[in-house]
C-alpha cells in the first residue's frame, strides 16, 4: 500500500498564480525600468551633444565638450548592451537557457 495515495494529490488554490511573483518579479521590473531609463537618457544625451556640437561655432573648447558627451553616451550605450550580452552568456553557461537571468522562473508545487 502506497502512503502517498491515501490523501490524493494536493493542488494549490485556484487564486494562486502560476507566474513568478514576489521579490523576483519586483527586481525584474526594476531592472527593466532602469534599462529603459538608461536608454532614454543616452538618447537625450546624444541629442544634446549634437546640438552642442552644431552650436559650438568653431570654438575648440565647446567642440571638445560636445565630443566628450558623445563619447560618454556611446560608452553608456555599450555598457547597457554588454550587460544584456553578459547576462545571456552567464545564463547559457550556468543554466542552459540564455533568458534564465533576465526572465527567472520559480518552480514549486503545481507549477
Q: Is 9 inside any structural domain?
A: no
Find the domain containing 90 and state its range: 39-104
User: What pLDDT shows up at residue 45?
Assistant: 92
Question: Nearest to residue 89, comparing CAs of 107, 102, 106?
Answer: 102
Q: Is 58 inside any structural domain?
A: yes
Question: Nearest to residue 69, comparing CAs of 52, 57, 81?
Answer: 52
Q: Per residue in 67-103, is it b (16+ CB within 10 Å) or e — as a string?
A: eebbeebeebbeeeeeeeeebbeebeeeeeebebbbe
Q: Is 26 inside any structural domain?
A: no
Q: Is 11 inside any structural domain?
A: no
Q: Is 47 inside any structural domain?
A: yes
Angle, nearest 10°, between helix axes 23-54 and 60-95? 160
Lowest-pLDDT range of 11-20, 25-34, 78-87: 11-20
pTM of the model: 0.63
pLDDT in tens, 19-58: 656 777 777 788 888 888 988 999 999 999 999 989 988 8
Mean pLDDT of 52-77: 90
* Residue-level length of the chain: 111
Total domains, the chain: 1
Q: Is 94 inside any structural domain?
A: yes
* Residue predicted with more confidence, 25 or 81: 81
Q: Is 25 inside any structural domain?
A: no
| Residue 28 grid cell | 525584474
Amino acid at each position: 500500500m502506497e502512503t502517498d495515495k491515501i490523501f490524493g494529490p494536493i493542488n494549490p488554490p485556484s487564486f494562486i498564480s502560476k507566474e513568478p511573483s514576489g521579490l523576483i518579479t519586483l527586481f525584474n521590473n526594476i531592472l527593466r525600468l532602469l534599462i529603459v531609463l538608461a536608454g532614454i537618457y543616452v538618447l537625450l544625451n546624444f541629442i544634446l551633444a549634437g546640438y552642442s556640437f552644431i552650436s559650438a561655432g568653431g570654438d575648440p573648447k565647446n567642440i571638445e565638450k560636445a565630443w566628450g558627451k558623445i563619447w560618454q553616451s556611446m560608452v553608456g550605450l555599450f555598457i547597457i548592451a554588454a550587460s544584456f550580452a553578459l547576462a545571456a552568456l552567464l545564463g547559457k553557461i550556468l543554466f542552459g537557457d540564455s533568458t534564465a537571468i533576465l526572465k527567472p522562473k520559480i518552480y514549486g508545487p503545481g507549477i
